[in-house]
Amino acid sequence: MSQSINSLSTLAATPTAGKAGDKAKSGNWFEAMAEAWGEVLDQQAGKIENLAGQISGGDDQPATVTQLTAESLKMGFLSNSSHTALSSVGSSLETMARKQ
C-alpha cells in the first residue's frame, strides 16, 4: 500500500515540460491544470466582452442578447466546474500528503 502512495506523490509533484515554442511553463501538473482552466475562462470572458460590445454599439437584437445570455451562463458553468475540479484535486493531494 505504501508503494502506491509513494507513486502517487511522485506523480503529483512531477514537473510539466513545456514545448519549445510555448511560453515558459514550469511547476507540476496541478499548476498546469489550473493554468489551462484559466485560459479557458479567459477565452470565454473574451466572447462575453465581444458580445457586450456589440450590444453597447447598437446591435441590441434579441438574437445578440440571447447569445450574450447563453455565453454568460456558459461562463458560470465553466467557473463552477473549474472551482470544483481544482478543489477536489487539491483536497485529494492534501489527503495524500497527510498519509505519508
Task: Give the SS3 label for residue 94.
Answer: helix
SS3 20: coil
Mean pLDDT on 37-61: 96
What gap in Å lies between CA 73 and CA 5, rounded to an integer? Answer: 39
Grid look-up 515558459 returns 24
Distance from first CA to last CA of the chain, Å, rounded? 11
pLDDT attached to residue 1: 45
What's the whole-number mean pLDDT along residues 33-50?
Answer: 96
Q: What is the pLDDT of residue 2?
A: 46
Helices (H), the chain: 2-12, 29-56, 62-98
- With 0.85 as the threshold, say if the pTM is over it: no
Q: Quick check: 100 pLDDT over 80?
A: no
Residue 4 has pLDDT above 50, yes or no: no
C-alpha grid cell, residue 10:
511522485
Residue 92, pLDDT > 70, answer: yes
